[in-house]
Structure 1
Amino acid sequence: MKNLLTLIAILLSFTSLEAFAQYNRAAGQSAPKMERRVQFEDESGRIQERVDYVQPKRDEYGNAGGSQFDLAVDGAFEGQTVVVVQLYNFPFEQTRQALKQKGFGVYRFQGAPEIGEFKKALKKANQFWLISDAATHLSDAHVKEIKSFFDSGRGVYIWGDNQPYYADANVVGKALIGATMQGDLMGDQVVSMKEKKYQKSGIIPNLLLSTGIEMIYEGITIATIQPTDDLQPLIYGSAGNLVTAFYDKGGKRVIFDGGFTRLYNKWDTAGTGRYVMNAAAWLANYERFGDQVVGLKTETKKD
């Protein structure tokens, strides 16, 4: 044959990395590409193979379609539990289903739990998520348990929203990492990757947390994270305000977020489901705990 052969095989290389089996090969790439192997006939008539890198099919918002472009492999954290204290009431089912896709179960308290029950739940938890309200509900004893949990290396996600819906978020943020949020800005926009310094808005690309995310919905009305030396930016809103930041120091991890409306309003808008799954996978802190957090079975009851 003298002409190029037709494409014989397309091999998608985004299977699990051997060294980090819980992560997809796309880990750390906001705009991942697929590896396509093409066989062809060269001028001498010999069959050769080349590798092309092509963009995968995208969803309607411009993010790579398919769970192979999430940070973690589906089911990677089977048996791990996310303990949630939800102080502001809204439907949580979509978030729960997203976490389930990566293997996480959810043990959710609606309102501030009794301290003994809270301590018991945290002992079996992989990570803790707090969804704040307009008033403080957590006691000093709750905060002490959260701080101890954090100091042990287990991940914490602190969700607030526009003023005044960050009361306990600020209490816990201060106690753990000296972080606070404030204000009330209108958002309700989809932001893209923040690739240039002059761009005022967007998600910081090519982090584990932003794997597979080129476009993300910022939330409706949102708070602004107050920067500290230890916080790293993740999402800047359309107004240029810091909506989401993270702490990754000394083997301990926190995400601090001023837009919990993303968890229930316009869930199907750009990037939310993937972001939630990425966040939980990152907070599992495989880099510190290794196989202890992969597929570990617990006895914690899940809702």
Structure 2
Amino acid sequence: MNDKMWNCMQNFLQQIQTEVKTRDWKQQINASLVYARQSFEINQEQSIYTLATILILDLIFGWNVYLVGVLLVVYFSVSVFEYSVTINELDWLFYCAIYITFNVIEYSCLHYQFPFHVIYMINCICLPGFLFPDEIYDNIIIIQRSVREFVLNYNKQNQEFYNAKAGQSNIEDASTYDQYNNPIDGEYDLGRDGAFTDYRILIGQFYKSGDMKAPIDALEKKGFHVESVKTELEFIAKLRSEQYEIAWVISSSSIEQVAFIPTLIDFHAAGGAIFLFADNVPYVSHASGFLNKKFGISLIGNYPGNKTLVFNENGYLEPGYFGQHEIFTGIKNLFEGVTICHPIQSRITASQAMTTLATATDGQPCISVFEPPAGSSEGRLCLDCGFTKLFINWNSAGTARFVVNASCWLAKAMK
């Protein structure tokens, strides 16, 4: 090698060395990972348990997995994120299992020079799995979901869901306040921004006239995954899928599906949280139907409120006031609603009654909650008796913060 070529190589190596030393590799790698997650719309938790699932499948089926096999494994792992495994997706997994298994057999034959009778024996062992694939499906799905639950539970134990001011309504040290004397800034909300990425909310908007963009945007800012439907059939099917932790029910004037209330009762009994929204009669049917079945409570009335409630620590039952509770974090003044119904005890039940947190200016309860007793498997429940605030009064006193606070409280996330 002549001197000129040697000098060129030295210069080239020096340039590489300088580049390696000066480049912020950690930042570049993180930026690349963020870009990849955004491109494929996969968040950090999903990425972790996807890689873990692929690794487990790879360990089960052998390391000699060709490109097609890897792609099929990735496809299946991503497709089961939503817990909605269809027959077609199971077929993909079945083909993947067959493909990888025969790759292992082929590799073993070529590399280890196995005798033919060994290959036949392996084929005979694998054949029952191909003929009876349900066990294969179930086991691999169980592995994937177990990995997911482990990751999600680990994250929940190490994540702070609520802000430092949680439970405080009378906040006097905020830097700025809005026109209603409520502090401005997300740190005065109950839930932290982006903290609720593991929670899904299903909205049943049966009163179809309003625009739900603002409430959904506010929920998504906290990290919630939100889906909204406008028919009872869609709502029932999705609620039965066991994909959601919280259900919003925005009442209309009538219930069309007989299965609606039983489905909602089952969801709540299994730990699902519910946010019931009602308004003036007759737009109370869905909320009132559930409350009557569960607690013996009916919703009646059409009070033209349109006033603002004021915080009073123990003023739960005082007309025009609301008391101390986590759902009122960062709220000193709260719009009561335009046309408001109220609950009455229509029959006696064995179930624990709901607790009134706010009383409208006519002296009737307008916001109530249900906190399950210790040892109960039921979910939390919140009732708001003036849902027009979702559509035309979203920017009125405390409305947006109250609705999002209540949803964060319903999540019953670990503190």
Q: What TM-score, normalized to structure 1?
A: 0.76
Matched with 1:75 is 194
Kindly indicate whether structure 1 or structure 2 has the higher relative contact order, using CA contacts under 8 Å at least 6 residues apart.
1
Q: Report the secondary structure of 2:311's partner residue.
A: coil
* Aligned residue identity for 1:30: S
Does 2:308 correspond to 1:190? yes
| CA shift digits 1:9-43 (9 cap, x unpaired) | xxxxxxxxx9971000101101134xxxxxxxxxx
Cα distance between partner residues in 1 of 2:386 and 2:235: 27
* Aligned residue identity for 1:246: V
Give the CA deviation at 1:98: 1.1
Matched with 1:294 is none
| CA shift digits 1:256-288 (9 cap, x unpaired) | 2211111011211110111111011011112xx
Matched with 1:31 is 170
User: Quick one: which of 366, 372, 375 aligns to 1:249?
Assistant: 372
Moved segments of 4+, more than 6 Å? none
Matched with 1:111 is 231
Does 2:218 correspond to 1:92? no
The structure-2 alpha-carbon separation of the partners of 1:241 and 1:115, relative to structure 1 and needing over 3 Å to count, comes to closer
Matched with 1:64 is 183
The number of equivalent residue pairs is 248
| CA shift digits 1:47-73 (9 cap, x unpaired) | xxxxxxx35421111111111010010
Give the CA deviation at 1:111: 2.1
Cα distance between partner residues in 2 of 1:159 and 1:208: 19
Cα distance between partner residues in 2 of 1:115 and 1:23: 29
Give the CA deviation at 1:100: 0.8
Bigger mean CA offset, 192-201 vs 77-86: 192-201
* Aligned residue identity for 2:337: G
Matched with 2:363 is 240
Matched with 1:15 is none
Give the CA deviation at 1:225: 2.0
Cα distance between partner residues in 1 of 2:251 and 2:400: 20
Does 2:342 correspond to 1:224? yes
Q: What TM-score, normalized to structure 2?
A: 0.56
Is the CA contact (8 Å cut-off) linking 1:170 and 1:180 kept in structure 2? yes
Is the CA contact (8 Å cut-off) linking 2:229 and 2:235 kept in structure 1? no
Does 2:281 correspond to 1:154? no
Q: Report the secondary structure of 2:207's partner residue.
A: coil
Bigger mean CA offset, 158-167 vs 129-138: 129-138
Cα distance between partner residues in 2 of 1:64 and 1:20: 25
Q: Report the secondary structure of 2:162's partner residue.
A: coil
Matched with 1:281 is 408
Structure 1 or 2, whichever has the larger Rg, is 2
| CA shift digits 1:239-266 (9 cap, x unpaired) | 2221110100235311122111110112
Bigger mean CA offset, 213-222 vs 18-27: 18-27
Unaligned runs of 5+ in 1: 1-17, 34-53, 292-303
Give the CA deviation at 1:76: 0.9
Matched with 1:163 is 281
Q: Report the secondary structure of 1:192's partner residue.
A: strand
Is the CA contact (8 Å cut-off) linking 1:150 and 1:176 kept in structure 2? no
Calculate percent identity across the aligned residue pairs: 26
Matched with 1:127 is 246
Q: By percentage of residues, which structure has more strand? A: 1
Is the CA contact (8 Å cut-off) linking 2:212 and 2:391 kept in structure 1? yes
Give the CA deviation at 1:195: 3.9
Is the CA contact (8 Å cut-off) linking 1:236 and 1:243 kept in structure 2? yes
Is the CA contact (8 Å cut-off) linking 1:158 and 1:173 kept in structure 2? no
Give the CA deviation at 1:196: 5.6
* Aligned residue identity for 1:24: N
Unaligned runs of 5+ in 2: 1-156
Cα distance between partner residues in 2 of 1:135 and 1:208: 32
* Aligned residue identity for 1:77: F
